Amino acid sequence: MSLSINLTINGQLRDITLDDPRVTLLDLLRERLDLTGTKKGCDRGQCGACTVLVNGRRMNSCLALTASLDGAVITTIEGLADGDTLHPLQSAFIEHDGFQCGFCTPGQIMSAAGLIAEAQAGDDPERIRELMSGNICRCGAYQGITEAVQQAQREMIARNRKDAA
Amino acid sequence: MKRFDYVRPSSIAEAVSAAALPGSAILGAGTNLLDMMKIGSAQPERLVDITRLPGLDGIDWLPDGSVEIGALVRNADLAYDERFARRFPSVAEALLSGASPQLRNAATAGGNVMQHTRCAYFHDLSSACNRRSPGSGCDALNGENRLHAVLGWSEHCIATHPSDFCVPLVALDAVVEIEGHKGRRELALEALHLLPGNTPEVESALMPGELIVALRLPAEAADFASHTRYLKLRERTSYAFAVVSAAAALVVDAGVVQSARLALGGVAAKPWRARRAEDALTGKPASPEAFAEAARLALADAKPSGHNAFKIELARRIVVRALTEAATGTPERTIPLPGSVFTTQAGSNHVA
């Protein structure tokens, strides 16, 4: 049984042929498209390392069946920077030491991108922590992560205001 | 993961036919099903992907004031829908207290209702489990069972239903709209999940092939909007299932309870409506004594199923707390840690 679907991944439209319906979005990205920035931590939806944006919303790619996503627009950590210019979240994570080993970082950053788009947290660190609770950092860099999300969000809001003006 | 056939029906009738075939499982977001398929506690031969079915992803307000929540509405979309959250704040609070933001963005309303117990013995294929494999026994009875049921369990199964969402829904008389071979039927959500009895493998009242297409809340459920809470005790502050939880909803006039709703989560194989407690509250002053009596009645039939006698007292306390908070009034804005018992007022920190 072979399935053909289309996905737009980091701005590029791709035809995907699946010889096996079991392929998760995470395994598609890592094993078949060589996009290994997205990490496989628990593979059970518990750690958040595999977080990507699906149609602009953060989701666990380990629990998404590729076959079901025909037509979806996917953004991974590889698609976040603008050429050589880092995304504000990427810069802020570096500036605030939002990681040590770095394994959870792509998932943290994609989750933070989703959080900022959802616009439910404001600048409240308590709400940011709660809304980042789907991403586990075993190095315990949570303080830096929270500060990085706050800073990036402020920058992005300021930039949007400037663009709108 | 075992191989399966993948089918994507284009109509509800096609979906019902495909789902009725032996070995079929319905795929929504898959956040529970795929997880189970990876570890083998679900091994469907056929996945029926309903995510492209038209008309199942809306929040529809009906002329009589009731609201129909399509089975494919994502948890986050429902919780953040302003009109919905204003009318049914404890439902929004329950949704936001469950899972993680990533899961809430994916998981559907129908899937939340149909999720399976998180009993470890149900998911561990080397353990005996009557729910997964009828007649094999129940290893939970003599195992790690401190989080298992204290109400409605039997010697054949002591699992709990893990949903937060379902708890206020049951309190507010939600109805499940179901499509099957014989057309559409409706069922009170309270009657959907079954207690284990002698047949724990029969988890719900759905017949083979039947598909939940919507959940409906009656207009009267919004009468409680100004005095309702969902409170949940977890073993960590966020992103954990309930040890115990309670949805409380009151209509209070001049300090007297005119009408009360109460349901508990984490205590049984179904969301547990506490009608005797509701009746006892009606007409009484909204007082600590009345709330304590309601809690006593709600847990009057509770029995430990293992090392979990503590849950009975915890459940009584969370009932009192939820009723007290409901009587105080629904917060204007969802609190930073929705459902948390560690947040006592809007804006307060959970870490002192």
For residue B202, what pLDDT band results from cuts at 50, 70 and 90? very high
What 8-state DSSP symbol labels residue B234?
A: -
Q: What is the mean pLDDT of residues B31-42?
A: 98
Q: Which CATH superfamily is domain A88-164 in?
A: [2Fe-2S]-binding domain (1.10.150.120)
- Asked: is A3-79 a CATH 3.40.50.720 domain? The reply is no
User: So what's the pLDDT on residue B333?
Assistant: 85
Considering only CB atoms, which chain A residues are within 8 Å of B1?
22
Residues present in chain A in total: 165
Candidate from B100, B237, B349 with C-beta closest to A134: B100
Inform me whether the pLDDT recorded for B342 exceeds 90.
no
Q: Which residue of B has its CA nearest to A57?
A: B105
Give the pLDDT mean for B60-89: 98
**How many contacts, defined by CB atoms under 8 Å, are there between A and B?**
97
Evaluated on CA atoms B246, B249, B255, B259, the torsion sign reads negative
Residue B60 domain-assigned (yes or no): no
Angstroms from B2 CA to nearest CA on chain A:
8
Q: How far apart are the CA of A60 and the nearest CA of chain B, in angstroms?
A: 6
Number of domains making up chain B = 2
Write the pLDDT tens digit of every residue in B247-302.
Answer: 999 999 999 999 999 999 999 999 999 999 999 999 999 999 999 999 999 999 99
CATH code of the domain containing B25: 3.30.43.10
Give chain A positions within 8 Å (CB) of B103. Answer: 45, 60, 63, 134
pLDDT of B75 above 90: yes
Quick one: tokens of A8? 């737009």
| DSSP for residue B108 | B
Q: Which residue has the tokens 């609770």?
A: A133
Mean pLDDT of B199-213: 97
State pLDDT tens for residues B122-173.
Answer: 999 999 999 999 999 999 999 999 999 999 999 999 999 999 999 999 999 9
Residues in chain B with CB shorter than 8 Å from the CB of A57 are 76, 105-106
Four-point Cα dihedral B238, B346, A150, A55, nearest 10: 60
A108 Cβ under 8 Å from any chain B Cβ = no
pLDDT top residue among B347 and B140: B140
Residue of B nearest to A1 (CA): B5
Residue in B with minimal Cα distance to A63: B31
pLDDT of residue B352: 33
Averaged over B84-104, what is the pLDDT? 98
CATH number, position B283: 3.30.390.50
Give percent of chain B with pLDDT exceeding 70: 97
Separation between Cα atoms, residue B112 and residue B199, nearest integer Å: 22
**Chain B residues touching A58 at Cβ < 8 A:** 101-102, 105
Q: Which residues of B touch A3 (CB under 8 A)?
A: 6
Distances (CA, A) of B74 to A131, B90, B165, B174: 16, 17, 12, 17
Going by pLDDT thresholds of 50, 70 and 90, the confidence category of residue B344 is low
Element of type H or E holding B188: strand B183-188
Contact residues, chain A, for B38 at CB < 8 Å: 43-44
A20 lies within 8 A of chain B by CB: yes
pLDDT above 90 coverage of chain B, percent: 94
Residue A51 at interface with chain B, using a CB cutoff of 8 Å: yes
Residues in chain B within 8 Å Cβ distance of A115: 101
Distance to chain B for A84, nearest Cα, Å: 28
**How high is the pLDDT of residue A1?**
66
Q: Is residue B127 domain-resident?
A: no
Is residue A134 within 8 angstroms of chain B, CB to CB?
A: yes
Q: Give the model's pLDDT for residue A164.
A: 85
* CA–CA distance, B242 with B240 (Å, rounded to integer): 7
B302 within some domain: yes
Q: Which of A126, A142, A146 to mutate to test the interface with B (most CBs of B within 10 A)?
A: A126
Domain that holds residue B44: 1-54
CB B131 within 8 A of CB B124: no
Each domain of chain A, given as residue ranges in start order, spans: 3-79, 88-164
Residue B346 has pLDDT above 70, yes or no: no
Inter-chain contact A127–B336, Cβ cutoff 8 Å? Answer: yes
Taking the CA of residue A132 and the nearest CA in chain B, the distance in Å comes to 7
Distance from CA of B171 to the nearest CA of A (A): 26
CA-based nearest residue in chain A for residue B107: A59
Asked if A133 and B31 come within 8 Å (Cβ–Cβ), the reply is no
Buried b (16+ CB within 10 A) or exposed e, B268-296: bbbbbbbeebbebbeebebeeebbebbbe
How far is Cα B107 from Cα B72, in angstroms, rounded to an integer?
A: 8
Chain A neighbors of B337, CB-CB under 8 A: 126, 130
User: In this predicted model, what pLDDT tens digit does every residue of B54-65 receive, in sequence order?
Assistant: 999 999 999 999
CB contact under 8 A, A59 and B102: yes
The mean per-residue pLDDT over the stretch A80-103 comes to 97
Q: Is residue B106 part of a domain?
A: no
Interchain pair B101, A127: CB under 8 A: no
Distance from CA of A127 to the nearest CA of B (A): 5
Residue B335 reports pLDDT greater than 90: no
What residues in B contact A59, CB-CB < 8 Å? 102, 105-106
State CA B58 to chain mean position distance.
20
CA distances (Å), B189 to each of B60, B77, B208, B215, in order?
A: 18, 21, 18, 8
Q: Which of B13, B33, B54 is the last residue of a domain?
A: B54
| Any domain includes B293 | yes
Domain membership of residue B165 (yes or no) is no
- In contact, B180 and B16? CB cutoff 8 Å: yes
User: For the residues B304-322, what does the mean pLDDT come to?
Assistant: 98
Q: What is the pLDDT of residues A110-164, one digit of tens each?
A: 999 999 999 999 999 999 999 999 999 999 999 999 999 999 999 999 999 988 8
pLDDT tens across A29-67, in order?
999 999 999 999 999 999 999 999 999 999 999 999 999
Any domain includes B322: yes
pLDDT higher than threshold 80 for residue B351:
no
Distance from CA of B15 to the nearest CA of A (A): 15
Q: What angle do CA B62, B67, B72 make, to 5 degrees?
A: 115
Q: Is the pLDDT of residue B314 over 50?
A: yes
- Dist. CA A32–CA A15, nearest whole Å: 12
Which is it for strands A51-54 and A73-75: parallel, antiparallel or unpaired?
antiparallel
B300 inside domain: yes
Q: B8, B10, B27, B100: best mutation site toward chain A, by most A Cβ within 10 Å?
A: B100
Which residues from chain A sit within 8 angstroms of residue B100, using beta carbons?
A: 45, 48, 133-135
CB-CB contact of B243 with B97 (8 Å): no
3-state secondary structure of A28: helix
pLDDT at B349: 40
Q: Is A120 on the interface with B (CB under 8 A)?
A: yes
Residues A14-19 have a mean pLDDT of 96
Q: Mean pLDDT score of chain B, rounded to an integer?
A: 96
So what's the pLDDT on residue A56?
Answer: 98
pLDDT at A11 over 50: yes
What is the CA angle B148-B154-B156, rounded to 5? 90
